[in-house]
Structure 1
């Protein structure tokens, strides 16, 4: 790989701490601290994303590159660093935070001029580790490697994964915070993104009243990642905030489209570019439930439940607006923009549902139709993805009870089947109002509704196999996730098996990694 071409423009521009001191501490008035990866003596490559490597300009993998993929034996030109940011966690101000498990190598530029940041996750402690070891376990690393790539191929904005490696070490973790810590295999993921800048980077500078650095950070972000913004003065920052709001709303709609639940939507886990970032206790939704949260840490309040993600993203943008106030001293603009966000999000959300159902456009009474559909889905505990796959086959189905039972997580009696029949009748009435052909409607559904989702139980099985030294499941899932709108492996297009209903890592997770 062309690792000698990696550069660090961020640390050349912003104030930082170059002491390379890994001790946990506050680093006031700086945006980064240089830190060396811990280094691992016996690393072993598990998976490497060749297509991504070529795409971003790193090129082909050489035998010696395994060292780079775990942070060993780095070229002299690379000054590795971690960034400081702040955040609101579960609604409460947490003060200074930072990359506690992530270390940046810098950015690489491909032949087209596209720049990509490269980051290790699990390569050791940083000044922002908050008394943790900065390492990562295999299960969380496999989950991030596969899920970030799955989201990319689904068409959802996301960070991506370049490699997955064993570190050769054991890491002690309490998986469910139950007072039962155990040794697990350690791993490192190399992940990439156009930028890893978060809401929290701006929150930190604003909270510390480092207004010059805040403005410099906003200018840097606009110049590098928002080239469409050409305005000057305060208007430039207004256009920036408006664009961040739009990208965030669009991301939330995509999460709803595929049934993704992030699990920890703290402001420090929100990308300024509208990317899905920080794959922790996430889940793809099995049975449809607006109150579903996979994160045991979020119980019983369910702040970050599936159905609340639009609302929470708006709340997070309010916090970002407060941080931008020194640059945008126009309270009415900020308030109006945030109110507009709610309108824009729900309109985009309903138009997305229209595409999932094969409707040509959003029509009067569609909101009532969607509300009735949600009620049916929750009452019958129908599988979100399989439901829309089933809708595409309705003309070939004569026995609704048999087919809907296959996608339900509860027993459907005759009364519930009557409700299904009533809904299907309503659906056909709505389809009859389309101005597009039946074939166009079906094609719209096929492009919008995936056939394959990387469900937690599949990840659980894959992790179990990798722990045993097997990679067949990993290879199979990789092929499936690269083709989510095709049914390559029919055995994956089924609801979650009942044996996994209450298994940790399948239907419930924690933030432990």
Structure 2
């Protein structure tokens, strides 16, 4: 890899140097702290994303690159660092947080001028680790490595994963926070993004009343990541906030399209660029349930349930607006922009649902149709992804029980089948209002509805195998997730097997990583 081409995007712009000392501490008036990865004596490569490496300009992997992938023996041109940010966690102000297990190596610029930040996750403590060890376990690292790439290939804005390595160390984690800590294998991933800036970076500067730093950070962000903003003075900050709102709504809409539940939508886990970031206790949805949350920490309130992700994103944007108010200084603008967010989001969401059903445009009455569909899905306990796959196969002569019985997580009684039949008739009526052909409608569905999603039970199986040193399923899942709109492995296009219900680390997940 071309490691010597890595540059420092942040470090020459904002003050803050703690000389590489990773002691955990409060760091007021600081945007970043220089720090070094812990270093590992016996690392082992598990997976390397050759396609991504070529795309961002790092080139092919060589055996001598293994040290860099875990943060060992860094080249002289690299000064690694961690950033400070704040955030609202589960609706409460948490104060200073920061990169507790993530350390930035720098930025690579490829031959097309594309900038990509490179970050280790799990490589050791930083000044923001809050008395934790800065390590990561294998299970959470496999989950982030695979799912971030799965989301990318699904067409969802996201960070991406370059590599996955064993560290050769064991770390102790209490996975379910039940007083039963266990030794687990440690791992490091390298993840990439155009930028890892979060809502929390701006919240921290504002909360500390460091308004000059806040404005500098905004100017830096706009100049480097929002080239479409050409206004000046206060207007550029207003355009910035509107752009962040739009990107966030578009990202959440994509989550709804593929059935993704983030599980921990704290403001410090919200990307300023509208990227899916921090793959903690997430899940792809099996049976459709607006109230589903994969995160045990989110029970019983279910703040971050699937169906609430739109309103929570708006709440998070309110917190960002509060942080930016000292610079924008226009309460009415901020209020109007946030009030308009809901209108834009739900209109975008419903247009997305139109494509999933094969409708060419949003018509009056579609909102009621979608609402009825949501109720039916929950009552029939249909698998979200498989429902649309089967709907694409619907013919005039189709027997509904035969077509849909294998995608339900309950028995389809005669009463439920009658309700399904009624809905299908309404669906056919709505299809008849299309101005496109049946073939065009089907094509619209096929490019919108994935055939493969990375389900939790598949990840659970994969983690078990990788833990034993096996990578066959990892490679198979990687091939499948790179082609999510094609059914490459029919055995993956089935509903979750019953023996994976209520299994810790599969159907239920914690924030432990």
TM > 0.5 between the two?
A: yes
Q: Partner residue of 2:193? A: 193
Unaligned runs of 5+ in 2: none
1:32-431 paired onto structure 2 within 5 Å: 32-395=32-395, 398-431=398-431
Distance 2:77 2:310 in 1: 43
Post-superposition offset of 1:396: 7.5
Residues 396 and 192 from structure 1, CA distance in 2 versus in 1: closer, same or farther, beyond 3 angstroms?
farther
Post-superposition offset of 1:152: 0.2
Q: Partner residue of 1:19? A: 19
Distance 1:188 1:47 in 2: 11
RMSD over equivalenced CA pairs, Å:
0.7
Distance 2:178 2:33 in 1: 33
Distance 1:366 1:115 in 2: 41
Distance 1:367 1:90 in 2: 30
TM-score (norm 1): 0.99
Aligned length: 513
Unaligned runs of 5+ in 1: none
Task: Tell whether the 8 Å contact from 1:117 to 1:193 is kept in structure 2 after alignment.
Answer: yes
Distance 1:357 1:484 in 2: 18
Q: Partner residue of 2:7? A: 7
Distance 2:30 2:153 in 1: 36
Distance 1:302 1:16 in 2: 38
The alignment partner of 1:11 has SS state of coil
Distance 1:193 1:222 in 2: 16
Distance 1:263 1:16 in 2: 32
Post-superposition offset of 1:506: 1.7
Post-superposition offset of 1:17: 2.0
Post-superposition offset of 1:200: 0.2
Which deviates more, 86-95 or 397-406?
A: 397-406
Post-superposition offset of 1:169: 0.5
Runs of 4+ with >4 A deviation:
none
Distance 1:117 1:108 in 2: 6
Q: Is it true that 1:452 corresponds to 2:452 in the alignment?
A: yes
Q: Partner residue of 2:474? A: 474
Distance 1:62 1:405 in 2: 50
Distance 1:406 1:419 in 2: 17
Post-superposition offset of 1:397: 6.2
The alignment partner of 1:16 has SS state of coil
Distance 2:489 2:505 in 1: 22
Q: Is it true that 1:508 corresponds to 2:511 in the alignment?
A: no
Distance 2:139 2:415 in 1: 42
Distance 2:367 2:433 in 1: 15
Cα shift readout 1:258-309 (whole Å, capped 9, x = no counterpart): 0000000000000000000000000000000000000000000000000000
The alignment partner of 1:465 has SS state of helix
Residues 381 and 4 from structure 1, CA distance in 2 versus in 1: closer, same or farther, beyond 3 angstroms?
same
Post-superposition offset of 1:18: 3.2
Distance 2:424 2:344 in 1: 29
Distance 1:396 1:125 in 2: 61
Post-superposition offset of 1:62: 1.2
Q: Partner residue of 1:28? A: 28
Cα shift readout 1:446-499 (whole Å, capped 9, x = no counterpart): 000000000000000000111111111000000000000000000000000000
The alignment partner of 1:506 has SS state of coil
The alignment partner of 1:317 has SS state of helix
Cα shift readout 1:21-76 (whole Å, capped 9, x = no counterpart): 21110000000011110000000000000010011011111110000000001001
The alignment partner of 2:328 has SS state of coil
The alignment partner of 1:511 has SS state of coil
